[in-house]
């Protein structure tokens, strides 16, 4: 079903007005953040200063770095297919446009909430965009501002070294200790310190991940035997035992690949275990989008992984068993929006997992190592318990400790 049919059927109402953005990279990135906050609820009052793009010149150097780090945490990859949608048609003669969803949110298949850096935010509107909008207001500003701050820091280090042979602690790290790509600045606290963005990372990236919950992500394929075995023997029991201390994220894509078809403006997916797996991946994708809370979608995923039979037959039975509206899921799988949601997982997978790497592939608090992978596959509960540093470990962790 084409996206314009959703608009006609459910009366999406455009609400955007044209914006005049100063010709400055920082202003454009602040405008990008302003658009994000028009679409999602963000309760932190500190964000107001970073979205006021008309007053970009009033920001201090520290606040300018904060804008860049904040924008990286709220990147298009995080929002695409859930809050932001690429659609030249719905943009019309504008480069971007907002739409109110009102009572038709579920039918439209846009999510009610989105998890970013471990925090859940309610979705107020969706925004459609043309690629030129992302290029002009995110990709190019991020690239140039990253280069600017890297050059600025190198000049500071050179000046400090010229002034004294004894380098102060603030400049002990060489410029190479700060990654060229700003996307890596908040990866660890050591890197953030080297890049002089510790405060910004703590405010906008680590704020939620420092709330003690362990973040565990599973990159998998819906019909992969090893993936199914891992989910039903490790992930399911870990969820039942330590759900209070872990954020479980499922990414159903694996070693599939996609091809964009300009004639249909859709992505075509090719899966390791054939078309049935592509359909099963899409079913999982739509269930996760329509039922975003883990306690809603994990019983369905566990059920599907436990039964080997015709994909749709199993999906319908599992939906019935787990209070999932399969007709709503089916509408999603046949829609342009479902196609976009699957593309979002493709982008996330390709960004994180090596091409043609094995599945299941897991990350623990954003990191992947052979040790993490091995421990996850043999004793996931212990891995989560050992990683948890909070004050209130569940009973199962106390037994292990």
100: three-class secondary structure by DSSP: strand
Segments in 243-293 forming alpha helices (H): 275-290
Same domain, 244 and 391: yes
pLDDT surpassing 60 at residue 106: no
pLDDT surpassing 70 at residue 165: no
End position of a domain, from candidates 85, 107, 140: 140
Residue 19 sits in which domain range? 1-140
Same domain, 125 and 222: no
Distance CA 172, CA 166 (A): 9
User: Which residues are 368's β-sheet partners?
Assistant: none
Of the CA atoms within 13 Å of residue 261, those in its CB half-sphere come to 10
Same domain, 120 and 260: no
* pLDDT band, very low/low/confident/very high, at 115 (cuts 50, 70, 90): low
- pLDDT in the model for residue 117: 65
The model's pLDDT over 198-254, given as tens digits with 9 standing for 90+, comes to 877 876 776 544 457 899 999 999 999 999 999 999 999 999 999 989 999 999 999
Distance CA 381, CA 358 (A): 22
- pLDDT in the model for residue 306: 97
Whether the Cβ atoms of residue 229 and residue 281 lie closer than 8 Å to each other: no
**Residue 357: φ, ψ to 5°:** -75, 165
Average pLDDT over residues 37-41: 89
pLDDT, greater one: 344 or 228: 228
Determine, yes or no, domain membership for 156: no
- The CATH number of whichever domain residue 390 belongs to comes to 3.40.30.10
Average pLDDT over residues 64-84: 87
Residues in Cβ contact with 234 at an 8 Å cutoff, skipping those fewer than 6 apart: 376, 377, 379, 380
- pLDDT in the model for residue 16: 59
End position of a domain, from candidates 92, 113, 140: 140
The model's pLDDT over 197-214, given as tens digits with 9 standing for 90+, comes to 887 787 677 654 445 789
User: What mean pLDDT value characterizes the chain?
Assistant: 84
Domain count, the chain: 2
* pLDDT band, very low/low/confident/very high, at 170 (cuts 50, 70, 90): very low
The model's pLDDT over 264-301, given as tens digits with 9 standing for 90+, comes to 989 999 999 999 999 999 999 999 988 988 999 999 99
End position of a domain, from candidates 118, 140, 162: 140
Q: What predicted TM-score, i.e. pTM, was given to this entire model?
A: 0.57
Determine, yes or no, domain membership for 19: yes
Determine, yes or no, domain membership for 185: no
Same domain, 116 and 237: no
Same domain, 115 and 2: yes
């Amino acid at each position: 079903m084409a996206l314009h049919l959703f608009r006609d059927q459910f009366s999406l109402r455009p609400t955007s007005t044209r914006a005049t953005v100063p010709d400055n990279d920082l202003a454009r990135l602040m405008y990008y953040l302003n658009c994000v906050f028009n679409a999602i609820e963000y309760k932190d009052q500190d964000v107001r200063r970073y979205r006021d793009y008309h007053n970009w010149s009033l920001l201090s150097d520290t606040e300018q770095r904060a804008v860049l780090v904040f924008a990286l945490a709220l990147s298009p990859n995080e929002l695409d297919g859930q809050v932001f949608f690429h659609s030249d048609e719905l943009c019309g003669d504008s480069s971007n446009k907002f739409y109110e969803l009102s009572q038709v949110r579920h039918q439209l298949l846009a999510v009610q909430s989105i998890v970013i850096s471990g925090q859940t935010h309610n979705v107020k509107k969706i925004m459609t965009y043309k690629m030129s909008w992302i290029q002009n207001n995110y990709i190019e500003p991020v690239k140039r501002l990253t280069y600017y701050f890297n050059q600025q820091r190198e000049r500071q280090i050179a000046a400090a070294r010229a002034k004294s042979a004894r380098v102060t602690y603030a400049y002990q790290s060489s410029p190479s200790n700060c990654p060229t790509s700003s996307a890596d600045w908040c990866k660890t606290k050591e890197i953030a310190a080297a890049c002089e963005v510790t405060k910004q990372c703590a405010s906008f990236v680590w704020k939620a991940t420092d709330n003690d919950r362990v973040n565990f992500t599973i990159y998998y394929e819906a019909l992969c035997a090893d993936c199914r075995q891992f989910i039903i023997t490790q992930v399911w029991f870990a969820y039942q035992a330590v759900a209070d201390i872990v954020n479980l994220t499922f990414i159903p894509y694996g070693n599939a690949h996609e091809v964009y078809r300009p004639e249909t403006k859709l992505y075509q997916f090719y899966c390791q275990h054939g078309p049935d797996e592509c359909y099963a991946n899409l079913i999982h994708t739509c269930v996760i989008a329509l039922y975003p809370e883990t306690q809603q979608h994990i019983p369905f995923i566990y059920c599907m992984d436990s039964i080997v039979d015709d994909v749709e037959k199993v999906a319908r039975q599992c939906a019935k068993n787990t209070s999932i509206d399969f007709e709503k899921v089916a509408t999603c799988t046949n829609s342009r929006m479902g196609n976009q949601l699957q593309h979002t997982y493709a982008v996330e997978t390709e960004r994180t997992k090596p091409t043609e790497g094995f599945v299941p592939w897991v990350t623990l608090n954003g990191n992947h190592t052979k040790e993490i992978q091995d421990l996850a596959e043999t004793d996931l509960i212990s891995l989560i318990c050992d990683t948890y540093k909070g004050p209130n470990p569940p009973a199962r962790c106390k037994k292990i400790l």
